[in-house]
Structure 1
């Protein structure tokens, strides 16, 4: 089966399931979370999952969450590759900011041919990360495993390197960009002036800025 054999919405479901399980270190995706990310009613998402189960692309064990079968994972990784290469092309070649690329990549990934994606990959020099730091699968489906540690787990005073920032919050991306913070930035976490806030200190510039603790889970780091 080729990814183009599936309706666009089915492609979205596979990619969303893969995204959720990747960020949760392989834990099954919950139906409600899938529905929320796709702006669907839970009942609508349930019917879509049943159809994917019928095609042998998804496993849905009662009370155990939703996972991809081997065939479903292969197709999902192809969608992830398309999406992240398109985001990188929009950012590096067309000058999109990193908070703008996600929406347009979502639209383009369904129409892009294999040849077009292959040409983009070659033109960009076969990048291994997209603008948010997410790993880009190779044409063979290989993908780097990144640490799942987030700023939530970092103790005040520790210095870490940002490895990826989730693209689900464009406001956060725009805010970090004000301080030139992106994957690869080295930052130190300091306690905030009051509850619910922390301060980040950018090593390169020495700039210090506040961040809500609720946003720490969206930023992955490594030592």
Structure 2
């Protein structure tokens, strides 16, 4: 049975791969995602390679094997079902749930996980908008784009917040940029590097381009 550390690494590699839209993930990305030193990430990656979970290329990065992807998909499923349960059933705030789910996911049996999934109504997305893999490893696909890539004056629906740190989630909520919200890009100012937005029929407001890249939307 894989250790919690192995499960965390494989889950992070898969999540980064899906977010970036590429199979290979750089060591720096893994280290930043897990909050560890690059050397620590490299050492652990070599362990994953010995267990045939990844293919590692020095100075390039890692790619999950079929075995690694299966494990990673299972961990994403656990994590996202737990996050949904913590918000919808226990009433925790969406800024609190990531760490709690991290603690719980390694001890959950498949039987309990499936009961939780059924209890929640087999949700397709977690509170942040991340798709929840099915029991057989399938995951919902959607044509998402960030706010900088949106056509102007066209309403879109917020689907995913990619930065799930407490500070950014609070920022997104204050602005009304939460999954399900209708948002329209009014204009973009290249000089100030800002984007003017409108939520529904509310007064327009601006956010920086860096923040706009972290908010993904789909056609309404």
What's the TM-score, normalizing by structure 1? Answer: 0.91
Deviation at 1:158, TM superposition (A): 3.5
Partner of residue 186, structure 2 = 190
Post-superposition offset of 1:133: 0.9
Post-superposition shift, 1:63?
4.1
- Cα distance in 1, alignment partners of residues 134 and 159 from structure 2: 19
Inter-partner Cα distance in structure 2 for 1:50 and 1:110: 22
Match of 1:135 in 2: 131
Cα distance between partner residues in 2 of 1:106 and 1:220: 24
Q: 1:73 aligns with which of 69, 73, 78?
A: 69
Question: For 1:163-221, what per-residue CA distance to the aligned partner results, in whole angstroms no more than 9, with x for missing partners?
Answer: 11124332222122234432121111123677032222011x42433312111121111
Question: Per the alignment, in what secondary structure is the counterpart of residue 199 of structure 1?
Answer: strand
1:123 aligned residue (112, 119, 122)? 119
Q: Distance in 2 between matches of 1:188 and 1:24?
A: 24
Q: Which of residues 144, 164, 168 in structure 1 aligns to 2:164? A: 168
Once the two structures are superposed, the pairs formed by residues 47-86 of structure 1 within 5 Å of their partners are: 47-86=43-82
**Helix, strand or coil at the partner of 1:43:** helix
The CA deviation at 1:49 is 0.3
Q: Decide which of 6, 27, 33 is 1:31's aligned counterpart.
A: 27
Q: Does structure 2 conserve the Cα–Cα contact (< 8 Å) formed by 1:166 and 1:219?
A: yes
In structure 1, distance between residues paired with 2:214 and 2:176:
17
| Selected match of 2:87 from 88, 91, 100 | 91
Partner Cα distance (1:81, 1:208) in 2: 37
* SS of corresponding position for 1:59: strand
Task: Say if 1:102 and 1:108 are closer, same or farther in 2 by CA, change over 3 A.
Answer: same
User: Residue 163 of structure 2 contacts residue 169 of structure 2 at CA under 8 Å; is this kept in 1?
Assistant: yes
1:200 equivalent to 2:197? Answer yes
- The runs of at least 4 consecutive aligned structure 1 residues that moved more than 6 Å come to none
Alpha-carbon spacing, 1:115–1:142, altered in 2? closer, same or farther (3 Å): same
Take 1:103 and 1:145, find their aligned partners in 2: how far apart are those partners?
Answer: 26
C-alpha displacement at 1:155, in angstroms?
4.3
78-87 vs 183-192, which moves further: 183-192
Given that residues 147 and 220 in structure 1 are in contact (C-alpha distance below 8 angstroms), is that contact kept between their aligned partners in structure 2?
A: no
1:46 and 2:29 are equivalent in the alignment: no
Q: Secondary structure at the match of 1:44?
A: helix
RMSD (Å) for aligned C-alpha atoms? 1.7
Superposed displacement of residue 101, structure 1: 1.2
Change (3 A) 1:169 1:196: farther
